[in-house]
Structures are given as C-alpha cells and as structure tokens.
Structure 1
Amino acid sequence: MAKGRSPMTRHNLFLAILCSLSFLLPAGSAIGQSAPAKKQAKSDQHPAAPLITFIELGSVNCIPCRQMQPVMASIGKKYEEQIKVVFYDVWKPETRHYANTYGIRVIPTQVFLNQGGKEIYRHEGFFPEAEIDKLLQKHGLKLRSGG
C-alpha cells in the first residue's frame, strides 16, 4: 500500500480487493452487450413485459448488499409492473454462476436490462434509491400514482 493513503482508504481498498478475489472473474465490462437469455416459467409471463429488469448481484452476508434490500423493495413497489427486480446471492453455490454470467467484479453490483435483455446500465457498490429513480425515469419509467 502507498504510505500516503488514509486508514479509511486502505480499508475500502482492502474490502474491494477481498470482494473481487472471492470471484476470481475477468474484470471486463459487459455494458452494451446483450445479457444471456433467461428462462421464464409460464406463470412468470405477463401480458405487459417489464420495461426494465433490475438485477442485484450480492449476498445476504454483505453489509452494503443488505443495505440494498429495502431499496430494491421500494423500487419494486414504486414502479410496479414496469420493472422486474431480481436478487442473486452470488455466494450461494446454486446462484454463484450469476457472478460469472454478468461478469461482476465486486458486490453489490446492480445491472439494468432493457426489454430486449440488453444491459443499459451497471453500478458497483451501494446505489442510493434517489439515483436509481433518476436512472429509471430517464429510461421512461413512471412512478405509480401516490408513490
């Protein structure tokens, strides 16, 4: 570590490296690339498909990831059928492959897909709800009345 870094900077850097090493994934970004196709159950099909899919890749054992849980719930309520909110705990064996699928480097990572499955935005770390609102409204989503 460089001598000029503050203890907080060193701590944050250590956490970022620790999260990154836990996946041993390539650091390439997939922005602008189409997301892998996902299989949907028949009961999951709706007459009007959501405009945006908000995917949170994290873990229930990660503090910033846990801080994202109420944000995701609120976003789902505010935008209702316009958005599909998905959480993958990438530290669990059965969902670990999503870390590779989406090429994440750290957790939490938020990936936003359009209706065609193309990635339109990616964010790493805690993502404040107000900033997500701006992003979603920029892409045409409307707050539900009363929300």
Structure 2
Amino acid sequence: MKLRITTLVAVLMLAATVHAELPSTTDAVVKRALTSGKPTVIDLGARTCIPCKMMAPILESLSTEYRNKANVLFIDVRKDQPAARKFRVQMIPTQVFFNVQGKEVKRHIGAMEKTEIVKELKAAGLR
C-alpha cells in the first residue's frame, strides 16, 4: 500500500512539472477524427481533476507516438458541457473508443494505463 501511495505521489508530481496536455478538442475536430478512417479515443475530463492530470502525459505521449495511425483527443467537460451531455459523461475521466468506421466500441471510466489504451486502440483497428 505504501508503494502505491508513493507511486501515485510521484506520478502526480511528474504530471504537475511536465505540463504535458493535449488542447481541448472542438466538435469539428471530433467529427473529422471520427470520419478519418483511424481509431479514435476521446478522453473526457477536466484540467483540475487529479486522475485526469495523471492521464495528461499518457495522452500526450500516445498522441505523438500514434500521430498518423490513431486520433487521441481530450475534451474538458467543465468548459464544454454540451460535449459532456453528447457523450453521456457521468464521471471523469471517461475514455470513449471509436473504431475506424467512427462507431463507439468501448467506454471506460477512470484513469487508464498507456498499455490499456493501446490495447483498446488495437481492438478498434489500430495497425
């Protein structure tokens, strides 16, 4: 238990110092992503939410690593409440995965590890 708390504190400190975060996405960008023929993950959260802050560097890394292969998007639901309603967000962070046809194939609530996100993107058609 002590190791988990120490790890969590280290991750939060790293997230606070790195400031890696995707810009909040617009509805037009979401529409383009869902019609791009690439798998997409949309992380719906808030800049002030601790689990969301933990996700920020992971999402930034995935966005860079899979730039031409998948869409990795972030929506700040505190600033974009219509998006929160559209995607039926009940808790944050929520990740919504879409396949290459733009159809929702998976939904997850809570923080996710990078490996889990990659696994879901592969299931959605990542090549």
Relative to the length of structure 2, the TM-score reads 0.68
Is 1:90 aligned to residue 62 of structure 2? no
Displacement, 1:120? 0.9
Map of 1:72 onto structure 2: 59
Pick closer, same or farther for the CA change 1:117–1:140 going to 2, 3 Å.
Answer: closer
2:113 counterpart (128, 142, 146): 128
Displacement, 1:96? 1.1
Moved more, 129-138 or 52-61: 129-138
Tell me which structure has the larger Cα radius of gyration. 1
**Distance (whole Å) between structure 2 residues aligned to residue 130 and residue 111 of structure 1:** 16
Conserved 8 A contact 2:94-2:110: yes
Displacement, 1:50? 4.6
2:101 counterpart (110, 116, 119): 116
**Distance (whole Å) between structure 2 residues aligned to residue 101 and residue 136 of structure 1:** 21
Displacement, 1:117? 2.2
Conserved 8 A contact 1:50-1:82: no
Displacement, 1:138? 2.8
Structure-to-structure mapping, 1:14-25, within 5 angstroms: none
Measured on the aligned residues, the alpha-carbon RMSD in Å equals 2.3
Displacement, 1:108? 0.3
Q: Can you list the C-alpha shifts for 1:49-89, whole angstroms capped at 9, x where unaligned?
A: 35112111000010001111111111112222111121111
For the residue of structure 1 that corresponds to 2:105, the secondary structure is strand
Map of 1:49 onto structure 2: 36
Conserved 8 A contact 2:40-2:71: yes
Displacement, 1:90? 0.6
Conserved 8 A contact 2:44-2:95: yes
Map of 1:106 onto structure 2: 91
Relative to the length of structure 1, the TM-score reads 0.60
**Distance (whole Å) between structure 1 residues aligned to residue 107 and residue 75 of structure 2:** 15
Q: Aligned partner of 2:64: which letter?
A: K
Unaligned runs of 5+ in 2: 1-26
Is 1:139 aligned to residue 109 of structure 2? no
Identity across aligned pairs (percent)? 38
**Distance (whole Å) between structure 2 residues aligned to residue 74 and residue 138 of structure 1:** 19
Unaligned runs of 5+ in 1: 1-37, 143-147
